[in-house]
Structure 1
Amino acid sequence: MIVCFSFTDAINYAASIGGFTTGIVFGLALFTFGKKRNYAIAFITSTATIAIVFLYFNFRSSQVYIYQVMEYQRRMQEFADMENMALEAYSVQYGNSFSENKESTLYLIKDRGIYYWNENITLIKELDKLYLPKESHEQNEKLIEYCKLRISLYELAYQKILENSSAYDEKMLELNFKIAAVMSKINTAKSKK
């Protein structure tokens, strides 16, 4: 078995062009100053120092950006976990099970469902302070809107069960359509990434 490896695979062309350009500039500086070699060396040293400082701060800020995007993606798993817990609280069907009674259903909706939607809003507001791409900030706005719509739906479901009334059904249906529309926008934005 023959393994072929070319050094050109590892060459960064931008670095090569930068090194070539730097060599020409410094060579011209040495040639221009001629016998005043000390001036040429001082020019080269100061130029190199400025370039190094500029590149350091530029690279450092890009690293911060990358780390914050990674932090955002990691913490979005917390959002998904809390969303699942909130949805589980709402999925309990009141009246369909002997083990679930009115009080426990109300508890699940209020103290688990609504609680986790509020926690998700807090999480998204915290994550929105990170240095993120514009698209992520726009997605955060949609996620907060989504959570607020869910809270409104849960509050209506709470009232419906508490009062044992169908008076809230139309408003709940309307909220479900709004939630579906926001989720569609979020999914469309994700698919464009």
Structure 2
Amino acid sequence: MNSNEQINPAESPSQRKDYTDLPLMLYSERSINIATFLGTPVAAGFLIRRNFINLGNETYGKHTLFISIAFTIIFFILIILSPEHIIDKIPNALFPAIYTLIVWYVLKRYQGEALDNHKKAGGSFYSVWKAAGIGFAASVVLVGMFFAYAFATTEDFDSEKYDRKIDVFSKNEEEAMMLYEIPEGASPMRIQGFIRTTGIPAWERNLVILDTLDAIENLDGLLIKQNGLLREYSQLRIALFKTIDSSFSVDSDKYETKMIEINGKIEAVLEDLNKLK
């Protein structure tokens, strides 16, 4: 063989010179797509690399593997950096579908002709199960790396400070909710006085506490969500207390619907808080 002679990866086995007694085997398009869906573009990189090597282009094989790893890293970094509320709305299967489609396009462009020629010439293909196994193995490795990274980068937050502030929050809540312990026949002046001097100030103190909690570094995502719900809960309580206060100054029927609406929102927030437990 002339050392300067290049092997065309698009040639079928019947067009290639017989440099070896071993039959040429390739990973089919279907196998690569399955491996990609299961194991990200990293799995595709290994399979496409093997195809290039078997077709006599080891340089392309090396480049393919490097690009597949780099693409996977960039892809997942973008996902991690995306706002959580956006990621939550995206179906889980969409991400594998996106990168599988990209790999399919690249495969068609750079190996499509070679795979078609190989199939027409009756060439052999590696088992789909072997490709799926490589995809599964790649996914296991990537998941392990992800958890290792998450564990290594997770920093403890000041849980004692958080718990202390939550205790104060609960005491303020208990103090404010004493409104409902006032006897039914109490004068409007007594109820309004409690709302203005005790109830609303207690909820406002809780909003300040939540500002402090939000400022704690390395706070767990679940606690951040809890803080948001507690803030909404406190704001709704303030709105309800103000509505109750106003109902004594004018026709109470005017505010009854508003109080029912606010109470409904409070119940919804409390349900969301219970789901976090």
Does residue 271 of structure 2 align to residue 188 of structure 1? no
Report the equivalent of 2:203.
117
Report the equivalent of 1:129.
215
Counterpart secondary structure, 2:269: helix
Report the equivalent of 1:173.
260
Instruction: Output the TM-score relative to the length of structure 1.
Output: 0.60
Report the equivalent of 1:89.
179
Distance 1:72 1:144 in 2: 15
Structure 1: any 5+ residue segments left out of the alignment? 1-58
Q: Which sits farther off after the overlay, 160-169 or 127-136?
A: 160-169
Counterpart secondary structure, 1:74: helix
- Summarize the alignment of residues 14-163 of structure 1 with structure 2, pairs less than 5 Å apart: 62=155, 65-66=156-157, 68-93=158-183, 96-97=184-185, 100-131=186-217, 132-163=219-250
Distance 1:112 1:160 in 2: 18
Q: 1:80 to 1:150 in 2, by over 3 A?
A: same
Question: Larger radius of gyration, structure 1 or 2?
Answer: 2
Distance 1:102 1:71 in 2: 39
| Structure 2 letter corresponding to 1:102 | P
Q: CA deviation at 1:102?
A: 1.9
Q: CA deviation at 1:180?
A: 0.2
Distance 1:83 1:169 in 2: 23
Distance 2:180 2:234 in 1: 14
Q: CA deviation at 1:91?
A: 4.1
Q: CA deviation at 1:128?
A: 1.1
Distance 2:267 2:192 in 1: 24
Distance 1:83 1:164 in 2: 28
| Structure 2 letter corresponding to 1:183 | L
Distance 1:101 1:162 in 2: 12
1:85–1:116 CA contact under 8 A, matched in 2? yes
| Percent of pairs with identical residues | 28
For 1:152-185, what per-residue CA distance to the aligned partner results, in whole angstroms no more than 9, with x for missing partners?
1111100112225221001100110100000100
Structure showing greater relative contact order (alpha-carbon pairs closer than 8 Å, 6 or more residues apart): 2
Computed over aligned residues only, the root mean square deviation of the Cα atoms, in angstroms, reads 1.9
More helix by share: 1
Distance 1:106 1:163 in 2: 13
Q: CA deviation at 1:71?
A: 1.2
Distance 2:224 2:275 in 1: 15
Q: 1:90 to 1:154 in 2, by over 3 A?
A: farther
Q: CA deviation at 1:90?
A: 4.2
Distance 1:111 1:164 in 2: 23
Q: 1:112 to 1:164 in 2, by over 3 A?
A: farther
Distance 1:70 1:109 in 2: 31
Report the equivalent of 1:40.
none
| Structure 2 letter corresponding to 1:154 | F
Distance 1:81 1:111 in 2: 16
Distance 1:125 1:90 in 2: 27
1:90–1:113 CA contact under 8 A, matched in 2? no
| Structure 2 letter corresponding to 1:121 | L
